């Protein structure tokens, strides 16, 4: 009887240790995944802010390249330097902003893809949907009262 109680206790402790390892590993993995996504989230947030800043300062015109985008002076909304954005972000410089604004106002469920990662995949924006650059641009175009070229 004494031997079986000792064996039972060992099995319970082993089971508890395994459960703690699995739970701790899952928690650690989730934390690491979030930690690794933070820099890209700042890139997403900054690229959306930069494009909206540019359109605000240039009467709703779309920039033609990184140099033009860098001329936006409201750098308070820029969490990442332009040099870093160039390494991570792809922007469709040929976007017809007037056409896009018309579509944005007509179609409430419109999804656009004018800003992405270099590989064409969407940028991860973990701070919320309003920090995703394409969503931010659409929100701006839907609410902007100045005429879009």
- Which residues have CB under 8 Å from 84's CB, separation 6+? 43
Q: What angle do CA 45, 50, 57 make, to 5 degrees?
A: 145
Q: Do residues 37 and 124 lie in contact, with contact meaning Cβ atoms separated by under 8 Å?
A: yes
Listing DSSP states for 107-132 in one string gives -TT----SEEETTSPPPP-TT-GGGS
Domain presence at residue 123: yes
Q: Work out how many domains the chain is built from and give that number.
A: 1
pLDDT of residue 5: 67
Domain presence at residue 64: yes
pLDDT classification of 143: cutoffs 50, 70, 90: confident
Domain presence at residue 95: yes
- Which residues have CB under 8 Å from 146's CB, separation 6+? 59, 60
Q: Do residues 89 and 67 lie in contact, with contact meaning Cβ atoms separated by under 8 Å?
A: no
Domain presence at residue 128: yes
Domain presence at residue 24: no
pLDDT of residue 149: 58
pLDDT of residue 54: 92
pTM recorded for the entire structure: 0.76
Domain presence at residue 125: yes
Domain presence at residue 5: no
Domain presence at residue 19: no
Query: In Å, what is the CA distance from 141 to each residue of 6, 14, 77, 99, 123?
Result: 70, 59, 18, 11, 20
Domain that includes residue 104, residue range: 38-143
**pLDDT tens-digit profile of 7-64?**
878 888 888 888 888 887 777 766 666 666 688 889 999 999 999 989 988 888 999 9
**pLDDT tens-digit profile of 79-132?**
788 889 999 999 999 999 999 999 998 998 999 999 999 999 999 888 787 889
């Amino acid at each position: 009887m004494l031997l079986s109680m000792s064996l039972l206790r060992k099995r319970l402790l082993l089971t508890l240790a395994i459960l703690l390892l699995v739970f701790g590993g899952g928690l650690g993995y989730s934390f690491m995944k979030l930690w690794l996504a933070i820099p890209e989230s700042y890139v997403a947030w900054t690229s959306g802010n930069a494009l909206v800043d540019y359109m605000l300062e240039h009467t709703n015109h779309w920039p033609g390249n990184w140099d033009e985008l860098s001329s936006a002076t409201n750098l308070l909304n820029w969490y990442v330097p332009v040099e870093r954005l160039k390494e991570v972000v792809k922007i469709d410089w040929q976007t017809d902003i007037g056409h896009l604004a018309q579509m944005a106002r007509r179609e409430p469920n419109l999804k656009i893809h004018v800003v992405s990662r270099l590989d064409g995949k969407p940028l991860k924006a973990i701070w919320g949907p309003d920090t995703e650059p394409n969503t931010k641009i659409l929100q701006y175009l839907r609410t902007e009262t100045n005429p879009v070229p």
